[in-house]
A and B are shown apart, each in its own frame.
Chain A
Amino acid sequence: DGGITQSPKYLFRKEGQNVTLSCEQNLNHDAMYWYRQDPGQGLRLIYYSQIVNDFQKGDIAEGYSVSREKKESFPLTVTSAQKNPTAFYLCASMKARGTEAFFGQGTRLTVV
């Protein structure tokens, strides 16, 4: 089945460590997005990519990095520079502007 897959579902890391969240889609979508969601809050845009080898910062990019080497994959690295990394992270893809975005099931990152 076509879809967008995030892994792992739950992730625990020690403070000061970098961690990479996986996002893979087989929908042949050009655009991919990363959002952060805190309890009781909306989705805030971290990074997005419209095509391979290109990406733009969103509203809260500080402390995060991404790559887009393949159309299917858009991994997000949460670096030690991110001061409050514990959150629910959501990845999405969109075929083109003005079309529905499909979401993965999210990764809950807890930093201890």
Chain B
Amino acid sequence: GESVGLHLPTLSVQEGDNSIINCAYSNSASDYFIWYKQESGKGPQFIIDIRSNMDKRQGQRVTVLLNKTVKHLSLQIAATQPGDSAVYFCAENQAGTALIFGKGTTLSVSS
């Protein structure tokens, strides 16, 4: 079936660098996307969302970009900090309110 996936399972960066985490989705009917952060042993926490009528949305230190032409989503984290180390998931909201998740990217930040 159609699902959301991520390009890289792991990403290592230095403190202060910008991080870019990518996600590819396959369901062109999805119109709402969310990025979540999950720390070890905890439930996912909302970071930022974007609707399909937008290309870009900015939050505090985070930006989500949506390219509907190639079905690609990315999360940019500015000035990455050690506290940003976690697993990041993208999720798409498909018809019928089911929220479908990708496999996740583990971000490691070294100081």
> A-side interface residues toward B, CB under 8 Å?
6, 31, 33, 35, 41-45, 48, 50, 56, 58-59, 90, 92, 94, 96-98, 100-106, 108
Question: In the complex, which of the residues A42, A58, A94 has the most CB atoms of chain B within 10 Å of its own CB atom?
Answer: A42
Q: Contact: B103 with A102, CB < 8 Å?
A: no
Shortest beta-carbon contacts, A-B, top 4: A103-B43, A42-B103, A43-B101, A97-B97
> B-side interface residues toward A, CB under 8 Å?
1, 31-32, 34, 36, 41-46, 49, 51, 89, 91, 93, 96-104
Q: Contact: B101 with A105, CB < 8 Å?
A: no
Q: Contact: A90 with B43, CB < 8 Å?
A: yes
Residues of chain B lying within 8 A (CB to CB) of residue A101: 34, 46, 91, 99
Chain B residue with Cβ nearest A4: B43
CA distance in complex: A97, B101 (Å)? 15
Q: Contact: A50 with B97, CB < 8 Å?
A: yes
Q: Contact: B45 with A103, CB < 8 Å?
A: yes
- Among A42, A48, A106, point to the contact of B43 (Cβ < 8 A): A106
Q: Contact: A90 with B44, CB < 8 Å?
A: yes
- Among B43, B44, B51, B89, point to the contact of A98 (Cβ < 8 A): B51
Residues of chain B lying within 8 A (CB to CB) of residue A90: 43-44
CA distance in complex: A112, B41 (Å)? 20
- Among B36, B41, B45, point to the contact of A106 (Cβ < 8 A): B41
With A42-B103, A43-B89, A106-B41 in contact, do A100 and B97 touch (Cβ < 8 Å)? no
